[in-house]
Structure 1
Amino acid sequence: MSKDITIAVVEDDENLRFLVVHRLMTEGYNVIQSANGLEAEQLIMDQKPAVVLLDWMLPGKEGIEVCEAVRKQGFENIIIMMTAKSQDVDKIDAYSYGVTDYITKPFNMDVLVAMIENKVRFFLPKNSDIYTFGDTEHHPNIHSLVRDGKKIELTILENRILLYFLQNVGKEITREELMEVVWGYSSNVNTRTLDMHVVRLRKKIETNPDKPHYLQTVRGLGYKFIDTKEEE
C-alpha cells in the first residue's frame, strides 16, 4: 500500500543503500537516492522529501555539512543521520546542525522502519505542534525553546527528554523508561549519563536549576514534569 511519502536515502555504500531502498519501497514509501553529498544537497532541495536518511561519511560533502546546508536553505523536514559510531552522536549534539534524529550502524531494518514511522507520525502531520510551560515554548521539530523572544537551542537528547516529559505531564517516569525512550532498546548508557542530561536540561528550562519548578526528581524512581500554569 502506497503511503505517498517520499524518502531520500543518501548512502555511498551500494549494498546498504540497496537494502534500505528495497525495504522502504516494500513498506510503501516513494524512494529517491544518492551516493554523493553534493548531489544529495541538490536532490533534497529540488524534491523536498518528507524524510532524508543521510549517511555521516559521504564523498563530495559530508552528511553533516549537507544537513547544515539544506537547513540554511529552509528545508524543514525530517533528517535522520546514519552514523557508524555512537561517538558521532556527541558531535551532532555539540554542533546542532539541525539533525532530527540519528541511527547507529549496524542497524536492524525493523528498527529503522519503526523510527521512520514514529517520526512521520510525530513530526509531519503536527509539524507546527508547540508545547508551552510557564513563559516558555518548546518547538520539538527545531530542537529549540523560545522564551522572552529568545531562542534556546537543545541538543537531540535534551529535545527527546523534554518532549517525552511534556507528553506525560504530571506522570512519574522511571529512569529506565526514560532511557528506553531516549536512547532506545540497544542502549548501554547508565543512569548517571541520563542524570547529567537532565541537569543540563534544567539549566535551560528552570529559573533556579538547583530547586527545579518543572522537572522534579522522584526519589528512588526517576522524574516527573510539573506544569502548574502559575507563571503563564
Structure 2
Amino acid sequence: MRILLVEDDSRLAETLEEALTDQLYVVDRAFEAESALEYIKVSDYDLLLLDVMLPELDGISFCQLLRSQGYQMPILMVTARDTVSDKISGLDAGADDYIIKPVDLGELFARIRALLRRGHSSLSPVLEWGNLRLDPSTYEVSYAQTPIHLTPKEYCILELLLRHSHRLLSRRAIIQHIWPTEEKVEEDTVKVHLRSLRLKLKAAGAPNNLIETVHGMGYRLSNTKN
C-alpha cells in the first residue's frame, strides 16, 4: 500500500514516515501542496495523510482542489486544531477522517487500516493463491499452513503479485509500486529480492515456478495453483 505524507514539519514527517515504513507501507513525502500534487499526478496512492497547516495552500484548500479534480483516494487530515468547526471544515472539504496532534501512532495506524479497508472493500481481506496465503491485517504469510518469514520488501512484492494475480508485472512496475518515488533503485535489485522470495517459498513446499518469469517482460503468479 502506498501513502503520500504531506507535512511541512520535517521532524514530525520523519517520525511518521519511519513509523509507516515499519508498518510495511510505501511512503512518499511532500512538504507543501504544490509538490504533493506533482506526486499525485505521477503515482497512484492508496491514501493521503495531509496536514492542515501547510505553507501557501493550506490542507483544507488542497483537499478541496483534489476532490474538484476527481481524485478519490482516502484523505486523512492531521491537525492541531481540535474544535468541532475545524473538523466539520475538513470533512466538508472532502476529507474522510481526522486525527489530532500530537499523533498517537496506534490510533493513526487503526484509522489508516479502517480507511484502506473502506477503499478496498471489494477485496478479500486475506489474499490466497492455491496453498499460498497472505493476511494483510497481520502480515502473516504461509504456504500449506507452513509459516514463511519475509523481509518487508519480499512481503510487499508478494502482496503486489497476489493483488494483481492475473497481470504481468515488469521490474519497473514493481519498483514504482514498492519503493518511494525519490529512491533510486536498479532493476537488478528486484531480481535479488525475488530470488530470495522464491527460495523461501520453495523451502515452505511451494513449486519452483510459483512465481513465473516471462523473459524480457516481467513476473506473474503461475496458473498452476499447487
TM-score, reference length from structure 2: 0.51
Whether 1:32 and 2:28 are equivalent positions in the alignment is no
| Corresponding residue SS for 1:197 | helix
Whether 1:132 and 2:128 are equivalent positions in the alignment is yes
Counterpart of 1:222 in structure 2 is: 218
Q: How many pairs does the alignment contain?
A: 149
Counterpart of 1:159 in structure 2 is: 155
In the alignment, the residues of structure 1 paired with residue 131 and residue 156 of structure 2 have an alpha-carbon distance, to the nearest angstrom, of 20
Matches within 5 A, 1:67-82: 77=113
Counterpart of 1:191 in structure 2 is: 187
C-alpha deviations, 1:67-116, integer Å up to 9, x for none? xxxxxxxxxx37xxxxxxxxxxxxxxxxxxxxxxxxxxxxxxxxxxxxxx
Which amino acid in structure 1 is aligned with residue 185 of structure 2?
Answer: V
In the alignment, the residues of structure 2 paired with residue 190 and residue 226 of structure 1 have an alpha-carbon distance, to the nearest angstrom, of 25
Whether 1:200 and 2:196 are equivalent positions in the alignment is yes
**Greater length-normalized contact order (CA 8 Å, ≥ 6 residues apart):** 2
Q: Is the 2:132–2:143 Cα contact (8 Å) retained in structure 1?
A: yes
Q: Is the 1:161–1:178 Cα contact (8 Å) retained in structure 2?
A: yes
TM-score, reference length from structure 1: 0.50
Which stretches in structure 2 are left out of the alignment for 5+ residues? 1-6, 14-30, 33-50, 64-76, 78-89
Runs of 4+ in 1 over 6 A off after TM superposition: none
Q: 1:205 to 1:31 in 2, by over 3 A?
A: same
For residue 48 of structure 1, report the CA deviation from its aligned partner: 8.2
For residue 215 of structure 1, report the CA deviation from its aligned partner: 0.8
For residue 189 of structure 1, report the CA deviation from its aligned partner: 0.5
| Corresponding residue SS for 1:50 | helix
Matches within 5 A, 1:1-232: 13=12, 17=51, 18-19=53-54, 22=60, 24=77, 25=90, 26-35=93-102, 40=104, 44=107, 49-51=110-112, 77=113, 121-122=119-120, 125=121, 129-207=125-203, 212-229=208-225, 231=226
Which amino acid in structure 1 is aligned with residue 119 of structure 2?
Answer: R
Aligned residues: percent identity? Answer: 18
Which amino acid in structure 1 is aligned with residue 138 of structure 2?
Answer: I
Which stretches in structure 1 are left out of the alignment for 5+ residues? 1-8, 52-76, 79-116
In the alignment, the residues of structure 2 paired with residue 195 and residue 119 of structure 1 have an alpha-carbon distance, to the nearest angstrom, of 31
In the alignment, the residues of structure 2 paired with residue 206 and residue 126 of structure 1 have an alpha-carbon distance, to the nearest angstrom, of 31
| Corresponding residue SS for 1:142 | coil
Q: Is the 1:143–1:154 Cα contact (8 Å) retained in structure 2?
A: no
